[in-house]
Amino acid sequence: MENEWILWNDQEGITTWFWGLYPAGENRTRLVTRVLIKYLWNSPAVLFNLLVESADLPMMRKCLLGIKERAEARVSAS
């Protein structure tokens, strides 16, 4: 398997979200995700961004564990 990736950004160029799949051995793949947010400190939206960032770690962990569970269930079913 080669590296596969998706890069998403908003129209304003404020938020970028990266998802990448990397080989991690013969029968393993590592999923990596990164989010980059440019803070506009003079905008009221900065409060929302800070709130989202504080919730991002547990939310992203749950998301990645769900993807892992579904991927492993699919492999074991075949």
Count how many domains the chain has. 1
The per-residue pLDDT for range 30-77, each reduced to its tens digit, is 999 998 888 889 988 888 888 888 888 899 999 999 999 998 898 888
State mean pLDDT over 4-32: 92
Quote the domain boundaries for residue 44: 4-77
The per-residue pLDDT for range 42-51, each reduced to its tens digit, is 988 888 888 8
Report yes or no: 56 and 33 within 8 Å, Cβ to Cβ: no
